[in-house]
Structure 1
């Protein structure tokens, strides 16, 4: 292996390591801030999604918060018991159940957003004018690493 090829691999590995360290640091700080309010990072992410998009089916919530269905179901059950979210039938597809944020959930989300404001502010402060560019790079990386759906890979059938 040439020296330049080895160096490129090391730089890529270093970038992945740094990305993991940043994610762990930010996650830890957010969890600490939320723990003080009696919340978890997953609960905050769920309420943030629901407040932004309205009612969502469980699979959309699971994809957003990166949880498997069994763990998400238990968490949503606890959130229903705490009156943070409600289950509602989808008006368009009566077989489907949507999760919606409750009025109590909106109040909790406002508290949790305030609790995490310092961490989010530090993130933006460190990045400064590069925050939007960083967001665009992360989105491009995510899209590039997400496998295409099977239907997108297959060519249309000619009749």
Structure 2
């Protein structure tokens, strides 16, 4: 490892770079697969949440789709104009607006999910037997990066639990 005089070496710098590269490559493949069907990753994420959870407030959708409010608002406006989603006032909190998938949105999502499944299949082919292990590690990393929930350094991953289809004990 080369050490620049103005910087101490960081364990995992290359791993962080690779993680970013993989995220970009996967997102690009998903976007390409969805673009054929007139969609993109953001629209797919939004409709996936709404079909799974039902009507949701904008802030929950923004968190799930990993979008800032202004971009989400513009995207939802476009999705409303193409009848993929609809808006309504929350009956419990009249200040809040909920968005939900329309019948057309649900039908579009079924098509988009097929395109996404093809990308997922390709990733599983690349990873082979390690696909479940990667999923487990990503879940662990995601949980550990939540505010106030950092796991202790060196927490082991149980490969046997991954192979058995169980969530590893952390």
Separation in structure 1 between the aligned mates of residue 88 and residue 134 of structure 2, nearest angstrom: 37
Residue 136 of structure 2 is aligned to residue 136 of structure 1: yes
Deviation at 1:17, TM superposition (A): 1.4
User: What's the Cα RMSD here?
Assistant: 2.1
TM-score w.r.t. the length of structure 2 is: 0.76
SS in 1 for 2:105: helix
**Structure with larger RCO (C-alpha < 8 A, sep 6+):** 1
TM-score w.r.t. the length of structure 1 is: 0.81
Residue 82 of structure 2 is aligned to residue 105 of structure 1: no
Within-5 A mapping of 1:1-159: 9-10=10-11, 12-148=12-148
Q: Where in structure 2 are there 5+ consecutive unaligned residues?
A: 4-8, 150-170
Deviation at 1:62, TM superposition (A): 0.5
Which one is further off, 74-83 or 89-98?
Answer: 89-98
Separation in structure 2 between the aligned mates of residue 119 and residue 21 of structure 1, nearest angstrom: 16
Give the direction of change, closer, same or farther, for the CA distance of 1:82–1:147 in structure 2 (3 Å limit): same
Number of equivalent positions = 143
